[in-house]
Chains A and B, each alone.
Chain A
Amino acid sequence: MPTDRIQYIYHKDNLQKSEPTRTKPEDLKSEEMIINLGPQHPSTHGVLRLEVITDGEFVKEVIPHMGYLHRCFEKHAENLPYNQIIPFVDRMDYLASMNSEHVYVMGLEKMLGIENTLPKRIEYIRVLVAELNRLASHFVAIGTYGIDIGAFTPFLWLMRDREHIQRLLEWVCGARMLYNYIWVGGLFYDLPVGFEERCADFIKYLKPKMKELEALVINNKIFIQRTANIGVLPLDLAINYGCSGPMLRASGLKYDLRKVDGYSVYPELDFDIPVGKGDMGTVGDCWDRNYVRVLECYESIKIIEQCLVQLTGTHMRTREFDPQAMVPKKIRPKAMDFYVRGETPKGELGFYFRSTGNTDVPYRCKGRSPCFVNLSVINELSRNTMLADLIAIIGSIDVVMGEVDR
């Protein structure tokens, strides 16, 4: 066999050298065992392997191994003009691309100094599609969380409702998941004619469905027993670990960047920040994290309704409105370092830019993804729990591996 046809030279040392597990068999105490959980698991939306040290049913240690998906976002970003990075930003958190795009674009607009000059209609459309996408992302989180602990119906129901959102967004920009819709200084296109009406119809349809969901899952006795008091994350630990989004809010802190930073048109909109109250168990347990997401869906519906009022009233579609009018020909920020952050469904998404000032390619663009930081707390949460509860804990973190590995 010619050697250039061999894909992988198997040698037992090769495997040892790449250190597939941190724990060696000889390090284990008696009765302890290494269990490899993953690489594929429905709750992780991607490839994650957990090296679990167990003693019988009890979890002693969880060591996450990732990098299977690593698609080099930062290396790509160093070689592409700013506007061509937007499709790569979509692919980080592929369940909430609009939110990621919004944050990225907002950062560049601040660097260029055009963030307050955009027409209000553009901002309202951005918030509208971002909140629609937030709903879709939370639906996946809540739905697959049901699967993790053995309930199949909510998954089907929520996927059905999410399909409507995806069709709406497909109508807006032509793609189901990876949109490239929000551009620096504008939008790819205005909303299609009739979108506002159909979106309003969808909201009318969705509201009773949310009540049904709550009755089915959230207040279900079995569901509560599986998730309450499991994986409790105290607030000080959550802050020290840099958790954000529903992870942090479920631990009891009213902290939402949409309110704190007040970016885009969020200050003009009326919505609440739901926090975990420990209704069914301790503050910051899995039930709280899931429930915060459900409550956030209600808030997103509220925001969407207000945006629709604005988009059909004060900031109506006009013949002269051109969403690409403000898009700069060349995006060339001054030489500076800039850190921008915004609230995505998973938490604080940040980008650290360094521009040299004489080129439209970033010198460095680091993505600080919420999932990466949220996942780092998993060992702390799952120590001394049961193996079955570990699944509930992973699901409640709501990780998208595309964002962890970037």
Chain B
Amino acid sequence: MTFQEIKELIIQESGAETVVAENLSGLQPILTIAKEKLPLVARLLWSNEKTYFDYLSCITAIDNPKTGTLEVVYNFYSIPYNHHFTLRVETSRGDENDLPKVPSLCEIYKTANWHEREAFDLFGIVFEGHPDLRRILLPADWEGYPLRKDYKEQEYYHGIKVAY
């Protein structure tokens, strides 16, 4: 299936308001969808006979302080059809007390578990419905989210000077 066919399938199954934008300028087209619809669309892509995206290759989070948004990009791959598909959702950056929330895909793809934990650890995105959302690379009481562009490391951690 081509990118346009998959897009039409998504619109047909989950409504026209699902698709927010599409980016065809790069080598790999990207579809932006509304974040509330993400589990629905992922389950559709996973279970539909025409698409059958059984392999979630990568989840990437991207921080855009200029526009005040965080993006989460999902790279799907279908082993039987040898198809690629890139989904993107956008959310506001939030603040320390009100972290941005994105639905989790752990129910469908178990591999999303650690990828989402990593995005939570380094970007501070809360994945709703994640069974075990803890920091994965940093200790639980670390302050801030290091891969955000405006991250400033804390001065001391348990009395250890962080900046060297």
CB within 8 Å of B: which residues of A? 6-9, 11, 14, 17-19, 22, 66-67, 70, 72, 74-75, 78, 110-111, 237, 239-242, 253, 255, 260, 334-339, 341, 348, 350, 352, 354, 363-364, 366, 368, 372-373, 376-377, 405
Q: How far is the CA of A341 from the CA of B136 in the complex (A)?
A: 24
| Residue in B55, B62, B136, B139 whose beta carbon sits within 8 Å of that of A364 in the complex | B62
| Residue in B75, B114, B136, B138 whose beta carbon sits within 8 Å of that of A373 in the complex | B114
CB-defined contacts of A363 to chain B, threshold 8 Å: 62
Q: How far is the CA of A364 from the CA of B122 in the complex (A)?
A: 13
Q: Please tell me if the beta carbons of B57 and A368 are within 8 angstroms of each other in the complex.
A: yes
Instruction: Say whether, besides A255-B79, A339-B86, A376-B111, A110 and B57 are in contact (CB < 8 Å).
Output: no
Q: How far is the CA of A241 from the CA of B113 in the complex (A)?
A: 9
Q: Please tell me if the beta carbons of B27 and A242 are within 8 angstroms of each other in the complex.
A: no
Q: Please tell me if the beta carbons of A239 and B54 are within 8 angstroms of each other in the complex.
A: yes
CB-based nearest B residue for A375: B114
Which candidate, B6-14, B93-101, B140-148, is the interface stretch facing chain A?
B140-148
Number of A-B contacts (CB under 8 A): 109
Q: How far is the CA of A208 from the CA of B119 in the complex (A)?
A: 47
Q: Please tell me if the beta carbons of A7 and B26 are within 8 angstroms of each other in the complex.
A: no
Q: Please tell me if the beta carbons of A66 and B27 are within 8 angstroms of each other in the complex.
A: no
Binary interface encoding of chain B residues 37-51 relative to chain A, with 1 for a CB under 8 A from any of its CBs, else 0: 000000000000000
CB-defined contacts of A354 to chain B, threshold 8 Å: 62
Size bin of chain B's contact surface: 35 or more
| Residue in A18, A237, A336 whose beta carbon sits within 8 Å of that of B141 in the complex | A18
**B20 at interface (Cβ–Cβ under 8 A)?**
no
CB-based nearest A residue for B82: A260
- Interchain nearest-CB distance for A405 vs B (Å): 6
CB-defined contacts of B122 to chain A, threshold 8 Å: 74
CB-defined contacts of A17 to chain B, threshold 8 Å: 140-141
Instruction: Say whether, besides A17-B140, A336-B25, A368 and B58 are in contact (CB < 8 Å).
Output: yes
CB-based nearest B residue for A373: B111
CB-defined contacts of B27 to chain A, threshold 8 Å: 110-111, 336, 338
- Interchain nearest-CB distance for A27 vs B (Å): 14
| Residue in B56, B146, B158 whose beta carbon sits within 8 Å of that of A242 in the complex | B56
**B163 at interface (Cβ–Cβ under 8 A)?**
no
CB-defined contacts of A14 to chain B, threshold 8 Å: 158
Q: How far is the CA of A336 from the CA of B23 in the complex (A)?
A: 9
CB-defined contacts of B154 to chain A, threshold 8 Å: none
